[in-house]
Structures are given as structure tokens and as C-alpha cells.
Amino acid sequence: MITGGAGFIASWVVRHLVLTYPEYHIVCFDKLDYCATLNNHRILDSQPNFSFFQGDVASPADVTACLKQYKVDTIFHFAAQSHVDLSFGNSYGFTATNVYGTHVMLECAKAAQIRRFIHISTDEVYGEVDEDSEDLMESSILAPTNPYAASKAAAEMLVNAYWKSFKLPVMIVRSNNVYGPHQYPEKVIPKFTCLLERGQKVVLHGDGKHTRRYLYAGDAADAFDTILHKGLIGQIYNVGSADEISNLTLCSKLLKEFGLSESDDWISHSQDRPFNDRRYAVNGQKLRDLGWQQNTPFEKGLKTTVDWYRKYGERWWGNIDDTLGTFPVIKSPPLVPEHKLRGNLDSVLGEERKAMHGPQPTSANGVHKATDESTTDAQVDGENSHA
């Protein structure tokens, strides 16, 4: 069971596990909030080892029904409110989903005697890391600085409590920023790509010198695969990237992808967030010791991502006008009847299957994940062979 499975990172893990392990039955559990879409896994609908269950992690009835219906033995808990900007103005919603929702998941998992509960957290729980400081280990003190990060740290406290009190078999994962196709365009890379595609300026918060470490979504899916198969119960794993990039440098790289010059005044600046961490830095050696490695160079991953959004971004998500503002406003999209969505979606997916896909690393269990032009089901949505 993968909560939030119709969202960004979790949908990559859904597709990866469905296509790589046909002996596993993967259940995507999602309430279909604004940043999730059935488009993210529609290509799996014909797969016999895939199911979708619409439900809310904050509903014990929904969670219990899914666990019982599919006899779930393992949970990846991705579902969360994750956009920092929104957490400053809607912090109650973050507490409801990220803290209470995690509590519901833990209690239901305990009742169902789940064998593994893998909780997805974030590197932001550590708080800001000075430039001259060493990368933070999993044992470092948590010091979140914004409501989103605080809610994720609080959720971790519950996860640890269920491990200590009830011996619930848990693992916690803290990852750097993940990017790639299928991310809702409230986050910086898809947002700026969509703005530039529209011929509009990009707007940076503050001076733009804040840095983040970026990990391609395919590499993130491989990391979760590694943790699923090789991780130890009761442990915490950082998923770290070697690509630390400032927002200003990121803008320069995006402009280059569009063939635009910085001298043409494509970048402007706005007031900063109430508080904006200058950088995050985690040490990922513990996970690398299990055999995982980062395979996708940032330049290659960025090009794949930009190409995808230029082709499919706004068709994939519908009207995103409010999302592209400097400080976005989210409105729940109307439900689109299946018969109206199907024709356009099939066209998009058909085009995507023919799109570029990159190197084919081995999966976490050592099996080479090969694809070829005839294996269309493995060529998901224009991404590389991580699926």
C-alpha cells in the first residue's frame, strides 16, 4: 500500500514497483487532492498487480478498509501536504494531514499487524545547515524552522513512539529535494518551466542564493526500492544528492534549456518567505552502504524534466494559473468525467511512450531493468527506465 500514490514521488514508486516486481500487488491509496492526478498512474490500469483505492489517510475507516480488502503487509507512507509556502498560511491543514494522518496510519497498521511501515519524511526536519557545517547524519538533532517541516518532525515522533511502544516495524526516510516529470507545478523546477514556456518571467524569493540538493525522481524510486529490500527495521535513512544548486544557478540552467539569455531580464525578485532556510545538507552514506547510488546527472535530469513539461505540463494538470503566482493560491480542480478525459489522455500517453529514456541502472536487488522499443508498458510517461 502506497499512500499518496497519485502524487509526484509516490507515483514514481508505484510505477517502479508494479513494473519491476510483477509478483507484488501494489495498491495506490490517494484522496486525489489538488497535487495528485489519476494521470500519474493511468498507464498501469491494465496491469494485474495494480489497484487504486480512493481514500484519506485521516480517515481510519478508509485506511482500514483498504488494508483489509487487499490484505496489505507493507506500507509506504508518502501522503502529506508538502509545499512550504502554503504551510505559512494553512498550517492547520498540514497538521491535520501530516501529523494526524500519520497517527491514523500507524494505529491502523498496528491493528493490521503490518510487517513493514516505511515513513517518508524530509531533510527539512533538520533545519538550516550552515555552509561550513558537515553534512548531517541520521542521528542529528531535528530543528525544523517552518510549519511544514515541524509537522513532518512531529509525525516522526509518532512513528518512533509506535516503534518503541508497540514494536511496529518502522523505517524512516529523509530525502533531499526530488524533481522530475509528474510533479505538480507549485515547486520551483516545474513552476519556472511552465512560466518560461508561457513567455513569462520567473520570480525568486529573496536574493536567490538559497541552495538545495536535487535528486532525480528515478534515482529516488531506486532509493526506496533499496530501503524496501535491504533496509533494517527501526532505522532512519537519509537519501542524499551530490547536486547542490542555488536558486539563481537553477534559473540560469533553465534559461539555457529555453535558449534564453539572463541579460534579457527573465529573472525578478520578490520578498522572501517569513523564514527561508539557506541550505539543507544530509549525509547519505548509510544508504549508499546498502548499494544505492545516484545515477542521473542534474543536467540530464533537468533536460528530461523540462522537455516533459514543455510537451505535457499544462495538458496534464489543467488550469494552473493560480499555482504559478509568486505565492500560489490553490483551488480544488473540478472532477472531469472519465469519458471526457480518456481521449486526450490516451493521446498524451501515446506520445510519451515514444519519448526519450536514459541509462538503465540495475534495480536494488541487482536485476537489470532493461527496456526496449517493444516494451511499451515499461516506457512510462517519457521517463527513463526507472519507470
Known catalytic membership, residue 148:
yes
Give the sheet arrangement for strand 244-246, strand by strand: 177-179, 211-216, 244-246
Known catalytic membership, residue 45:
no
Instruction: Please state the rounded mean pLDDT for residues 171-195.
Output: 95
**The three grid cell numbers given for residue 140, joined into one nine-digit string:** 542529528
Other Cβ atoms less than 10 A from the Cβ of 245: the count is 18
Reduced to 3 states, what is the DSSP secondary structure of residue 64?
Answer: helix
**309-330 confidence digits (pLDDT tens):** 999 988 898 888 988 876 655 5
Helix (H) / strand (E) element for 17: namely helix 8-20
Annotated catalytic residue within 33, 124, 243, 277: 124
pLDDT at 34: 86
Decide: 345 and 381 in contact? Cβ < 8 Å: no
Q: What are phi and psi of 253, to 5 degrees?
A: -65, -40
pLDDT at 298: 97
Known catalytic membership, residue 124:
yes
Annotated catalytic residue within 56, 85, 126, 148: 148
**The three grid cell numbers given for residue 61, joined into one nine-digit string:** 475507516
Helix (H) / strand (E) element for 194: namely helix 188-197
Decide: 379 and 308 in contact? Cβ < 8 Å: no
pLDDT at 188: 92
Question: How high is the mean pLDDT of the chain?
Answer: 85
Contacts of 73 (CB under 8 A, 6+ apart): 114, 115, 116
Distance CA 140, CA 276 (A): 20
Reduced to 3 states, what is the DSSP secondary structure of residue 211?
Answer: strand
Distance CA 252, CA 274 (A): 25
Query: 83 falls in which pLDDT band (50, 70, 90)?
Result: low
As beta bridge partners, residue 3 has 29, 77
Three-state helix/strand/coil letters over 138-151: CCCCCCCCCHHHHH
pLDDT surpasses 50 at 241: yes
Q: How many percent of the chain have pLDDT more than 70? A: 80
Annotated catalytic residue within 123, 156, 219, 381: 123
Cα 123 from chain centroid? 13
Query: 163 falls in which pLDDT band (50, 70, 90)?
Result: very high
Decide: 9 and 220 in contact? Cβ < 8 Å: yes
Q: What is the pTM of this model?
A: 0.85
